Amino acid sequence: MAENEIAKHIDAAYKAAKQPNTHWLHRLKEVLIEILIIVFAVTISIWFHNWSDSLHEQREAKEFLRGLKVDLQGDIASAKNDSDFYATQLYRLRYFLRVGNGDTLNADSMIAYQSVLFSNTSLEPHISRYEGLKGSGKFGIIENTDLLNNIINLHEVTIKHVQMLDGYYTDFANRMGGFFQENAQLNPNGSKITNAQKFIRMPRMRFLDMYGISFISLNVLNYHDSCIVQCQKLIGQIDKELQ
C-alpha cells in the first residue's frame, strides 16, 4: 500500500514538472509538494516498520527469558544433585583416608562406601535455548545490558568451568578404578574385597584420597555453589525484567 502511494506521488510530481502552458514557479511548487509528501510517506513507513520490529523483538525477548527461567531452575536442580554427590564422595574419601592413616576399617562401611572408587557425575545444563539465541545472532533483543552480560557469563564461563571440573573428577575416578583393579583382591563371587584394609592403606591409595579430598573441597563444591548462586540471581533479574 505505501509503495503504491509513493509511486502515485512520484508520477504526480513528474506530470507536474511536465505541465504545458504553466509557469515554471507553479510547476516547481507542485513538484516540491509531491516530494514533501513522498518524504513524509517514506518516513512514516520506516518508523512503522521499526516500531513493528521493536514490538516483535520485545515479544521474542520475553518468550526467551520465560523459557530461560525454566532452564535455570533445571540447572539449579542438576547442580544441587551434583553438589550432593560430591559432598557424599568427600565424606567417603575422608573416611578412607582415616583408615589409611591407621583407623580400623569397618566392614559395613567398606561395603557402603566402596562406590567412591568408581562413581562420577557430570552437570547436564539446559543450554539449547541459550545456544539457539546465540546461534541466531539475536543477543540484541535483550536490551538490559547487565542482564545479557550475566546470561553470557553464566553459560560461557561458569557452566563450562563446572563441566571442566566434572571432567577432571571423572579422570580421577578412572584412576581410582584402575588402582582398584590392579590391587584389590575379591572373594570368589566378587562381592567383597578380601584385602580391603591393606588396600586402603597403600601409599598410592592414600595419595588418591588426599587428592580427591582437596579437589572436591577446594574446587568442585565451590564452583557448583557459585553456579547455583548465579542461576538464582539471574532468575531474580529475569523476574524483574518480566514485570
pLDDT, tens digit (0-9, with 9 covering 90-100), for 176-225: 999 998 998 988 887 788 899 999 999 999 999 999 999 999 999 999 99
* pLDDT attached to residue 91: 95
Q: What is the pLDDT of residue 110?
A: 87
Give this prediction's pTM: 0.77
More confident residue, 5 or 202: 202
pLDDT at 1 over 50: no
SS3 of the chain: the string is: CHHHHHHHHHHHHHHHHCCCCCCHHHHHHHHHHHHHHHHHHHHHHHHHHHHHHHHHHHHHHHHHHHHHHHHHHHHHHHHHHHHHHHHHHHHHHHHHHHHHCCCCCCHHHHHHHHHHHCCCCCCCCCCHHHHHHHHHCCHHHCCCHHHHHHHHHHHHHHHHHHHHHHHHHHHHHHHHHHHHHHHCCECCCCCCECCHHHHHCCHHHHHHHHHHHHHHHHHHHHHHHHHHHHHHHHHHHHHHHHC
